[in-house]
Structure 1
C-alpha cells in the first residue's frame, strides 16, 4: 500500500503525519520550505485543553514547559468593571481546582469555584455586580476549565519536527513545491518542482498547505468568504505588568476614545517574561507605522501600570489580518483538505489552529482504517460532514456577533442564554467556551448509531469529547483514558466501581467481564477493552463506546453484544446486517 502524501509541513501537516504514524500508516510530507521556521515571537498560537493534549501525546514533549498556561483571565470594560477567572495552577490532570474572583481593586472573591464580576462601586459597598457567581463564559459557576496554553508557533513547530525526525514511517521532502495531482481508482500521484522535483505515488493526498493552498486550486475547489474581517497590530515585548501570568482583554480602555472598537487590546503572557499584545485596528487599510505602534505600546503599558510606562524591550512586531473563508468541499476522491487550506477563522478570539488540529485528529483514524482494511466511503465522507459543519457553525456565530460586538449593540436577539453578554461572548472565544470557542460535537454525524434499547445517559453527550479519567488497561496497568486515543482502535470502557483497589487478576474473569471481553473481540474493527472505577454521570456496569479520536459514540446499560456491535458498525461507516448480528452472537 502506498503512503499518504501530505502537502504542507506546518503544525497541521506535521500533526497529521505523526497521527498516521502512531497508527502504522506511512506518509510522505512535502515541504516547500527548507525544513525550519523563522523565529517570530509575535507569531504565537493558543491551544485549548484538547489540542494541547493531542500535541503532547504525539510529540512526547511537555508543551507546558515550552509555553505558558494563563493563571487567570481578566476582562475590563470602559468603566473599569473587571471580570476575572482564576485558573488552577495544576492542570495536568485535566480537572482544575477552584477559581476565585476579585474586583478591580483586588477585592476578595466569593466562594472557591466561583467567579465574581464587580463594579468599583459595588465592590466598595460589598454588593456583587450582575455577573457575580458566573464563569467568564456565563456558564454555571461550578464548571471547571483548564487555562489555554500560549506558545510561540516556531517552538511548537520545532517540537513537531523533532518528533517527525525520529519517526521511521514519515519521509520529509524539503524544497518540494507541488504543481500537479493525478487521481485514479487505485491511488493518487503528485508532482513537485524544485531541486528535488519528482513524481510521488500515494494512496491518499491531504492538502495542509495553508490559505493559498495549491491542492485546493488544483482540485478546483471554491473558497468563498470574507476578507479582512478584523485587523490587529501585534507586538511581542519583555516587560513586567501588574498581574504576572494573567491574560487580559481590555475593551475600550479610557486612554483611547476613538470608537466602540478603537482601543480594544489583548495581552497574553509567554514564557520568560514575554508578552504578546494585540490592538484591534479600525476598519480600513491604514498602515501601522513604527511610531503608531510605539505610541500604542507606551500608552497601554502606562494605563495598566498606573500612569508611568514601565521599562520594556520590544522583540517583534507585525499585523495580523483575520479572514473568514470555508472551502465548498473538503474531499475530492482521494484528495482531502485540512487546516487553513479548508477554512480560515480567527475573529473575536477564535483560534484557527485549534480547528486545524482537530481536522487532523478526525481524519487520521479514518485514513488509517481505510489504509489497513480497505476504504469505507461513508467513513471517509464523514470527515467533511463532521468537520465542515463544526467550522461553519463557528463562522456563523462569529459573523452574527461581530456587528453587535463591534457596534456596541445588544446581544439578546442574537445569542440565547446566560452567555449572551458582550464580555461573556468575547471571553468564550478566547477561553474556548460558548458558541465562539467551545469544541464542537459530532451529534449529527452520519456515523451516529441508531438508538438502542439499552442506551443510557452520562454527563458526556454522544458525539462530544469524553472526560479524561483513569482506566485499567488490558495489561493491568493504570493509564489515563486520553493516552489510549489515536491508536486506531475503538475503545470500550466498562464502569466498574471498586476495580481500582484490586489487582486485575482478581476481577478480570468475574461477573460480566468475560462476556464483555468476548463481545469486544467480536467487534468489526480493532478495539481495546478498558475498565474505569467511575465516569461522570455513569452508573455501575455502564459500557462506553468511544471513537479512536476520543469522542463518545454511545453509552449502554450493561453488556449488550448485539447493540455494541451495531454501534461499532455505524461508527466505522458500515451498516449491520442479519449476518453480522449473528456473528456478534445474537442470531
Structure 2
C-alpha cells in the first residue's frame, strides 16, 4: 500500500478540553495520531445541573475510544411517555442501550481517565488559545497560548459557542439567539415512574404556581432526575422561590396531589440557541461541536452531533496525517457534517410550529388545523429519543451523489448510511461486534451464510475468502476483512465496504477486486465519481451506483 507523503510528525492541536475536544483526542489516538489538548481551565469537572442524552451510535463511539464505563456512569431508560393533562398520548418501550442519560461532569471525568491511559494525548491546563497563524502552502499551523507558541499539523477548535478559533478565523456564526428556553433542576426523589422518561404537556394547574406549559423528566443514576420546564423563549427565568413553587406543583401532579420528599441538587436557566458557522474549515484549521453548531430545540442534543463531528473528522485526519490520503479528503468533513446539521435545523424549523405553539391561541388553532397533539406525539419524541428526522444518525452519500441526508426511508444498504451492528468474525476466527471494529481502518465485510455454523478453518480458505483476503491487503487504505452471517437487505455473497466511522461506502455483489480498490481509492481521494458495480441493483436491497456530477460543498 502506497500513498502521498505523510503530513509530518507534528501533533494535531485541539483547542478545548470539553467532551468534544477530549473525544477527538482519543479518536485520533485510535488512529495513532498524537495530539495536544489546550485546556483554558485547571482540568477539574465540578458537579452541575448539566447532563446529556446520548444515542447508541455515540455511546459506541465513546466505548471504542476508551471510555469503558460510559454505560455504568449513565442511566438507560425503559420507556418514553408523552402525557397531556395527565393522560397518556404516546409511549415507546426502550431497550437499556437505546438511550443513555448521564451527568456532564461524569462524562468529562470518564474521558479524562481514558486520556490518561494513552500516551498519545498531552493535556495542557491553563493554556487558552490566544492567536493562530497558518501560512498558505505550509503543512503546519501555529498557535499562541499564555505560555508559548505551539506548532501542529492541524488545529481543531472544540472551544464552545464563544470559540476563539472561530473568531480568529473570522467566521460568522448566524442563527437564532433564543429558539427555546428552559428552567432546569436536578433533584433526588422517588418518582412513580422509575426508569422512565416523560414529557408532560399542560399539567393540571396548582394555585400560585408559575406558568410552565410543559415539563420533561429524565432519570439519571443514583435516584437523580433532571426536570426541564419549557418557558416562552424570551421570558424571564424563574426566581428561586418560583422554581421551588413550580417544582412542588410538578411533583404533586405526579403523586395524586401530594409532594413527596425530594432534595434539590442544582438548578439553572437554559436558553437554547440554533446557530451554524458559515464554514467548518479554513486551511488546516477546523471547527467541531459547539464551536461549529448549536442545536437543542425540541429535546435534541448538540453533544450527539458534536461526537458525530469527531467520528467524521478523526479518520480523515488519520489517513492524511499518515500519508494514506491527500489533503483534499479533509474538505469532505465540511461537506458532510455541515449539510447534515443544516438538514437537522430545517427539520426543527418545520416541526416547531406543530409541536411548540408560542401562545394558547396558536395552540387552539393548531388543534383545529392540524389535529390533536396525539397525531404529532411521535414526532415530539424524536428529538429526545434520537430517532427520525430530529435525531437519527445522518447518511453521507459518496462525493457527487448529493448532500448529507437524514436517514428515514433509506435502506440499510444505501450508500452513506450508518451500518447496522451485528455479529462478525475476524480473519483469525475471533468473534466480535461490527461497530466495535470501527475507528482504525476501512472494513470489508463478506455476507456469508453458514459461517456461524461451520468451524472457522473450513471457510477461511474457501469460496471468496482467499481472493477477498488478498484484495483487502492491496487496498490503498488500511483495511480489515470480516465475515457475517447476514446483513439486512444484502443477499448472500454481498461485500460491504465500510468507512472507519461506520458509514457504508457501497455494497457490491460478490468479489469484484477492481471495484473494491476503485471504491476505496475514490473514498480516500474525495473523488466526484463512483463506478457502477456490475450486477448492482439486481438483488434485493442491492444499491445501484451511478456516475453523477460533482456536488457543491
TM class, shorter-length: 0.7 to 0.9
Q: Deviations over 1:371-405 (max 9, x none)?
A: 00165233100000000011111111112222332
Q: Cα distance 1:420–1:296, how it changes in 2: closer, same or farther (>3 A)?
A: closer
Distance 1:322 1:339, change over 3 A: same
Contact 1:187–1:201 (CA under 8 A) maintained in structure 2 = no
CA apart distance, 1:210: 0.2
Q: Could you tell me which residue of structure 1 aligns to residue 439 of structure 2?
A: 486
The question of 1:516 aligning with 2:516 is answered: no
2:284 is equivalent to residue 334 of structure 1: yes
Question: Could you list the per-position Cα deviations for residues 170-191 of structure 1 after superposition, in whole angstroms to 9, with x for gaps in the alignment?
Answer: 1111100111111122333433
Q: Residue 81 in 1 paired to residue 98 in 2? A: no
Equivalent position to 1:180, from 115, 131, 144: 131
Question: Any gaps of 5 or more consecutive residues in structure 1?
Answer: 92-145, 450-456, 582-587
**After the TM superposition, which of the residue ranges 356-365 and 554-563 deviates more from structure 2?**
554-563
Residue aligning to 2:45 = 37
Which of 51, 64, 78 in structure 1 is aligned with 2:71? 64
Q: Which runs of 4+ in 1 moved over 6 A?
A: 411-415
Shift in alpha-carbon separation, 1:414–1:179, aligned structure 2, 3 A: farther
Alignment partner of 1:51 is 2:1: no
Give the Cα–Cα distance (whole angstroms) in 1 for the partners of residues 313 and 400 of structure 2.
Answer: 14
SS at match of 1:75: strand
Aligned to 1:390: 340
SS at match of 2:134: strand
Asked whether 1:562 is paired with 2:514, we answer yes
Residues 489-504 of structure 1 aligned to structure 2 (within 5 Å): 489-504=441-456
Question: Could you tell me which of 406, 415, 422 is aligned with 2:376?
Answer: 422
Counterparts in 2 of 1:575 and 1:431: CA distance versus 1, 3 Å: closer
Q: Provide the TM-score with structure 1 as the length reference.
A: 0.82
Aligned to 2:389: 435
Structure 2 residue corresponding to 1:18, chosen from 23, 26, 51: 26
Secondary structure of the residue that 1:85 maps to in structure 2? strand
Q: Does 1:158 align with 2:166?
A: no
Residue equivalent to 1:542: 494
The residue correspondences of 1:48-447 to structure 2 (distance < 5 A) are 48-78=55-85, 80-89=87-96, 91=97, 146=98, 148-184=99-135, 185-194=137-146, 197-255=147-205, 262-373=212-323, 376-407=326-357, 408=363, 410=366, 421-443=375-397, 445-446=398-399
Cα 1:56–1:554 shift into 2, 3 Å: same
In the alignment, which residue of structure 2 is the partner of 1:115?
Answer: none
| Deviation readout 1:132-159 (Å, 9 max, x if unpaired) | xxxxxxxxxxxxxx2x100000101100
Q: Residue deviations 1:14-54, cap 9 Å, x none? A: 000000001100000011000122211x1100001100111
2:143–2:149 CA contact under 8 A, matched in 1: yes
Match of 2:407 in 1: none
Secondary structure in structure 1 of the residue aligned to 2:149: strand
User: Partners in 2 of 1:209 and 1:509 — Cα distance?
Assistant: 50
Aligned residues: 508
The answer to whether the 8 A contact 1:448-1:571 is kept is no
Distance in 2 between residues matched to 1:576 and 1:395, nearest whole Å: 26
User: Is the partner of 2:462 in helix, strand or coil?
Assistant: coil
> Structure 1 residues 256 and 387 mapped into 2: Cα distance closer, same or farther (>3 Å)?
farther
SS of the counterpart of 2:313? helix
